[in-house]
Structure 1
Amino acid sequence: MLQIGLIGYGTVGSGVYERLTTTKEAVQQLLGQEFEIKAILVKDRQKKRTENVETVVTTEWQEFCELAQYDVIFEAIGGIEPAFSYTTHWLEKGIPVITANKKLVAEKGAELEKAAEVNGTYYGYEAAVAGGVPIINALKGNLATTPISRVSGILNGTTNYMLTEMIENHRSFADVLFEAKELGYAEADPTDDLEGFDAWYKIRILSRLCFGEWPTVEAYLRQGISEIEDWHVEVGEKIGFKLKLIGEAWYDGEKVVGAVRPAFLSQNEPLANVRGVTNGISLEGSTINQLLFIGPGAGKEATANSMVEDYLFHQRTTILSSIALRKEKGEEPFSHALLFITHLEREQAIAWVKEHHVSVIDTYSHHEGEGWIITSSRGEDSPYPTYPIYGNVSNRKQVEAVHSAQFGSL
């Protein structure tokens, strides 16, 4: 009989327990043997959530270790420590560990995969990216040798919900953030979501699977949505663009680079239609053109389901110990950007674009300022708020422009 250990019994941990117990017969049939959840390690035994659990619940690490000869560990506590120490302990014993801990995987994944390889086991992290979307094992399995030139996605449901509400219902950033907390989409401290950390962890994990190497932190730009002003969203909407927090990575022919940043998407971009708390991931390559994965990015049931399916996938599939190096050169993902200035900054901004030989395609008026579509992809060098534009810029809406003769010589 398989013996299962569960570390953590919060939202995700309780979801794993419920998923395993409610589908026990089906899981046992797939595994070809019976299983039992032998013990659960929790931080606080006083919490009432474990009252109806039919197994041993303990706060003592040593007791948890001694309660069974585990065949698999489900880690559902989050953060780096003690999750890293716990995970390392079991991998070094040759026991597989399944996790949903994106921060741990992004920061310590190289070490933990190495520990798993050396000890003849595996480290499963399907649920660490996009909750219920089966992207990790698709890359490990069906797409194991498929060349990938670029991976991009909407990887954070909280920010996507907020931006969707701001665009579709013309609501303010502050108002939508308050509601996101009330609905449980955002934490009391939403820093990881708003500043792009959550998506940053996830795109680094996806990059490892797509390009065969763990990226350095320095190679990945991170910019969240906290500095977006409401009128920036309004201007983009007038033109026909949707603002999204995009995580992406691509191979430029020499190295893999990536970023998490707000970007405007034209209507013909598939990810533009990913709304609310839903996540979407796009894979691009010469043999696949574009594959799109869309589904729930978080939630108790979706994440727990991914963890259980991750275990079943590894039990039924032989995975190469090292991810195949399959990257192929991709093109610069955007060639236009949307730059925002206040009315007082106009003359200074005109001087800047002239000095840097940046072409202005269109300018759009708002009572708080102007939005300029520029051809330069050097938005990171701009002294003004500047967001990449993905998709066909020529398909934008025809709205009031404020062209000036001053741009004629640019």
Structure 2
Amino acid sequence: MTALHIALLGYGTVGKGVYKTIQTHQEKLKRIFRKEVKVVAILVKNIEKHHTLDSDVLLTDDFNKIITLEQLDVVIDAIVGQEPSFTYLQQAMNRGCHVITANKEMFAYHGTQLKQIAKEKGVTLGFEATVAGGIPIIQTLRQLLNVNNIQKVQGILNGTSNFILTKMREDGCPFETALKLAQEKGYAEADPTNDIEGYDAFYKAVILSELAFGENPNWEESIRQGIQSITPEQIELFSALGYRFKHVASMEKTEKGIVCSVKPVLVNETHPFYQIEGVQNAVSIDGDIVGNISLQGPGAGMLPTASAIIEDLVYINKHSFSPIFLDEQNGLSVKVSKIYWAMAGDAAVENIPSHIQIIDRPNPNVLIVEASWEEICDIQWPNTYFYQVLGKVLTENTLVSS
């Protein structure tokens, strides 16, 4: 019985999780592949800091020793940064290897090119682990795209920012205190910029956009806002009205192209994200046939990410002779849905422009209004802030959906 030969690029948290999972689930993998699944090489930066449990595994800091192995079927990328990951995966596909990546930043920048190379070389490209860890969002979208036109995708895609917002609301603490706790627990890096300013979620949104709509959003026109400016006072004010802050990535196809944003929003108990707390992730998909599908689960970590990679490995086994690539089948433009905003501050109550429709006034200092992003951006009132509201807005007379 021949083996399936795998090389791991990177042996940190994710790489170790993949290696461990292959070892502990070897019998089940054998039944699926009808052969042994074997890690034959691991690429690391510093050999002295690592060891493997199997003396037959090549541990090296030289990628050339891996790409020139006599037998190599799959290359799994578990390193970070655009380079050298992008270059390594190009070389692997050019050799004829299937590839799987968990590198969201690299894939956001170079995913389109990698898909084209994979198509030309007749290999499969797996990238489930680039978005939402253990949540099978990529596979779900692939299944829906057989018939459905995807209209909108929204997600809590970064567990660190969600943890911070949860702790601020539960404990009444300021942002800095919640961030420090996230760092102590290992959820946030020493430099948390990618998480708290929305870069991590934006990279994932780009990946989902190309899969769902067949194209990337315009990076320059996309909206990316962090959570640093949210205060305990704002959280307390909106909590009393039944709202919770969530850091949400949203993608929607419109007549002008893909509208993409990553920003703090408000949700109430009618929205599926209301109960997503701590480091959990969630994704909501609107299809023209299926309606709304919501998925939730662990967004990161050793085993959830390893799970996504191993499932991609199984996907390769099922489709290795007929790789599936996205056709541009979602060409229909859809109408931009109404946008509702919660505005707080004296100026918001007294000086609201006539062209902005007031939906509700839940208390003397807060308005719920309907307005476009551009109209909201034109408002430059001091001591006034606004956040988009997702889900259903409850008013005294009616119920409207955003």
TM-score (norm 1): 0.88
Q: Tell me the C-alpha RMSD between the 2 structures.
A: 2.1
**Residue deviations 1:53-88, cap 9 Å, x none?**
542211122223334421000010011011111111
Counterpart for residue 44 of structure 2 = 42
Question: Partners of 2:18 and 2:268 in 1: how far apart?
Answer: 39
Counterpart for residue 400 of structure 1 = none
Structure 1 stretch displaced more, 295-304 or 355-364:
355-364
The structural deviation recorded for 1:358 is 5.7
User: Does the 8 Å CA contact 2:358/2:367 hold for their aligned counterparts?
Assistant: no
The structural deviation recorded for 1:236 is 1.1
Counterpart for residue 29 of structure 2 = 27
Counterpart for residue 382 of structure 1 = 379
Q: Which amino acid aligns with 1:296?
A: P
Q: Which amino acid aligns with 1:277?
A: V
Q: Mark the CA change 1:331 to 1:77 in structure 2 (over 3 Å): closer, same or farther.
A: same
Q: Which amino acid aligns with 1:246?
A: V
Q: Mark the CA change 1:382 to 1:44 in structure 2 (over 3 Å): closer, same or farther.
A: farther
Q: Does 1:339 align with 2:338?
A: no
Question: Partners of 2:199 and 2:303 in 1: how far apart?
Answer: 23
User: Does the 8 Å CA contact 1:379/1:388 hold for their aligned counterparts?
Assistant: no
Q: Does 1:69 align with 2:68?
A: no
Question: Partners of 1:352 and 1:3 in 2: how far apart?
Answer: 67
User: Does the 8 Å CA contact 1:359/1:376 hold for their aligned counterparts?
Assistant: no
User: Does the 8 Å CA contact 2:67/2:92 hold for their aligned counterparts?
Assistant: no
Counterpart pick for 1:101 among 81, 103, 115:
103
Aligned residues between the structures: 386
Q: Which runs of 5+ in 2 are unaligned?
A: 397-402
The structural deviation recorded for 1:267 is 1.4
Question: Partners of 1:239 and 1:331 in 2: how far apart?
Answer: 30
TM-score (norm 2): 0.90
SS of the aligned residue for 1:35 comes to strand
Q: Mark the CA change 1:64 to 1:94 in structure 2 (over 3 Å): closer, same or farther.
A: closer
Counterpart pick for 1:302 among 301, 304, 316:
304
Structure 1 segment 275-286 matched on structure 2, within 5 A: 275-286=277-288
SS of the aligned residue for 1:271 comes to coil
Question: Partners of 1:109 and 1:330 in 2: how far apart?
Answer: 25
Counterpart for residue 224 of structure 2 = 222
**Residue deviations 1:246-295, cap 9 Å, x none?**
11111224522111110001211111111111111111122111001111
Q: Mark the CA change 1:327 to 1:152 in structure 2 (over 3 Å): closer, same or farther.
A: farther
Q: Mark the CA change 1:323 to 1:293 in structure 2 (over 3 Å): closer, same or farther.
A: farther
Question: Partners of 2:341 and 2:123 in 1: how far apart?
Answer: 46
Counterpart for residue 125 of structure 2 = 123
Q: Which amino acid aligns with 1:266?
A: N
Question: Partners of 2:339 and 2:69 in 1: how far apart?
Answer: 59
Question: Partners of 1:51 and 1:357 in 2: how far apart?
Answer: 63
**Residue deviations 1:149-199, cap 9 Å, x none?**
111111111111111122233222111111100111111111000000111
The structural deviation recorded for 1:28 is 1.7
User: Does the 8 Å CA contact 1:157/1:279 hold for their aligned counterparts?
Assistant: yes
Question: Partners of 1:111 and 1:52 in 2: how far apart?
Answer: 36
Q: Which amino acid aligns with 2:329?
A: L
The structural deviation recorded for 1:329 is 4.5
Counterpart for residue 293 of structure 2 = 291
Counterpart for residue 324 of structure 2 = 320
SS of the aligned residue for 2:352 comes to helix
Question: Partners of 2:143 and 2:285 in 1: how far apart?
Answer: 15
The structural deviation recorded for 1:375 is 2.9
Q: Mark the CA change 1:138 to 1:172 in structure 2 (over 3 Å): closer, same or farther.
A: same
Sequence identity of aligned pairs in percent? 34
Q: Which runs of 5+ in 1 are unaligned?
A: 397-410
User: Does the 8 Å CA contact 2:98/2:316 hold for their aligned counterparts?
Assistant: no
User: Does the 8 Å CA contact 2:201/2:249 hold for their aligned counterparts?
Assistant: yes
Counterpart for residue 362 of structure 1 = 361
